[in-house]
Each structure stands twice: as structure tokens, then as C-alpha cells.
Amino acid sequence: MRAEDLEPLRKHMLAVIAASAFELRSAIGKDALDERVMTAMGKVPRHDFVPIELQPYAYANIPLPIGFEKQSRSHLSSP
């Protein structure tokens, strides 16, 4: 996949993270994550860190296999 094809997925991921932070505002003590965190998350080419067949899922808030017959314990989008 081309990076341009993944841009809508990246934007959606950021929107989901922002909404989640707002929903958890009483638990995290603020309405939103720091803008620097959101900017960094928007710049990281997550699709470069997963096998090509998983690239469409790189920006989803789901655990992905990390190799060696294991799966990530936390969501990749967790800061």
C-alpha cells in the first residue's frame, strides 16, 4: 500500500484517540492528550512496522501479531 492510501486511516485513528481521551477525561484529568503527543502519533508511519499483509490494520486500535507466534499485549496506538 502507498502511504497516501493510508492517510485516511491515520486521520481516523487520531480522531478515535481524541474521542477516547475525551471520554476518559475524568480518569486522565484532562480533556485531550497533549498536542505534541497527537502530532507525533500522526507522523509515525505505523504501517512500516508491521508485515505488509497487516498494513491496512496498522492504524486500527487492535492488537496485531508481532512475530514469534506472539501478539502485542496492548494496542499499538497506546502512547
Q: Which amino acid is at 24?
A: L
How far, in Å, CA of 38 to CA of 6, rounded? 17
Degrees to nearest 5, angle at CA 71 with 64 and 61: 35
The pLDDT score that the predictor gives to residue 79 is 44
29-59 tens-digit pLDDT: 888 889 999 999 899 999 988 888 998 899 9
- Dihedral pair phi/psi, residue 64, rounded to 5°: -120, 150
The pLDDT score that the predictor gives to residue 63 is 85
The three-state secondary structure class of 78 is coil
Query: Torsion-angle region of residue 70: left (phi > 0), alpha (psi -120 to 50) or beta?
Result: beta
pTM: 0.71
The ranges assigned to domains in the chain are: 3-71
Instruction: Kindly give the interhelix angle for 35-43 and 3-23, rounded to the nearest 10 degrees.
Output: 150
Q: Which amino acid is at 68?
A: F
